[in-house]
Amino acid sequence: MQDKMQTYAAQAATQGYTGGAIEINRVLRNTYALLAMTLAFSAMTSGAAIVFNVPFLHPIVTLVTYFALLFAVAKTQNSGWGILWTFALTGWLGFTLGPMLNVMLQMPGGSEIVMLALGGTATIFFGLSGVALVTRKDFSFMQNFLFVGILVAFVAAIANLFLQIPAMALAISSMFLLLSSGLILWQTSAIIHGGERNYISATVTLYVSLYNIFMSLVHLLMAFGGDD
């Protein structure tokens, strides 16, 4: 009787592990698929902003709309509406990126900076995602540090809108670059260890991390290139 109970327990554990692995693979697959689609969509909205020569939007308008869309995603992430709001959020971020890209592409060396920033962003993403997927290390210990760090960096960025200190702007860009890179490690690790089961939430985290990395690289490359 005891042997049978042990056998049943082993079978249940195996089934639970298999089911967990299937769920993790599903979340990973859906996250990367949705991330790819949102990146393509934001590229389209950014391109539209360039074609129609959309001017720079006021930072307050950009931030208020961003947080409103982020709130909408959080409230609907467990339904199909969450996908719609995810596209709205990423499309908005792409659209607000258009005016900056439009100016840069007309600058001497601007297109090279954009390409370097895109290449650097892709390298960081695939490199860090690969580390998390291959090593299977649990990076959950980074969570509190990352979120406190991002809050500090965001408050500093808001303050520098009024202070306009170049050295502070560079420091903020460096902070966002490092913290967003850490978020990629943390989020990917959370998926493969079962801590993240919502692919909409995971997609938004990864997309915003990529957006911040790209913006930070553009700013740093411009500064070191003598254009800042």
- pLDDT 10s digit of each residue in the chain, 228 long? 555 444 444 444 444 445 578 889 999 999 999 999 999 999 999 999 999 999 999 999 999 999 999 999 999 999 999 999 999 999 999 999 999 999 999 999 999 999 999 999 999 999 999 999 999 999 999 999 999 999 999 999 999 989 999 999 999 999 999 999 999 999 999 999 988 999 999 999 999 999 999 999 999 999 987 544
Interatomic CA distance for residues 144 and 90, integer angstroms: 25
Which residues, including other chains, have CB under 8 Å from residue 51's CB and lie 6 or more apart?
none
Contact 187, 196 (CB under 8 A): yes
Interatomic CA distance for residues 3 and 199, integer angstroms: 40
Contact 175, 149 (CB under 8 A): yes
- The overall longest dimension of the chain from CA atoms, in Å, is 80
Residue 202 CB neighbours (<10 A): 23
> H helices of the chain, where?
2-51, 59-76, 81-105, 110-135, 143-163, 166-192, 199-224
How far is residue 11 CA from its own chain's centroid? Answer: 39
Contact 202, 31 (CB under 8 A): yes
Of the CA atoms within 13 Å of residue 31, those in its CB half-sphere come to 25
Best CA proximity match to 68, nearest among 38, 45, 89, 87: 89
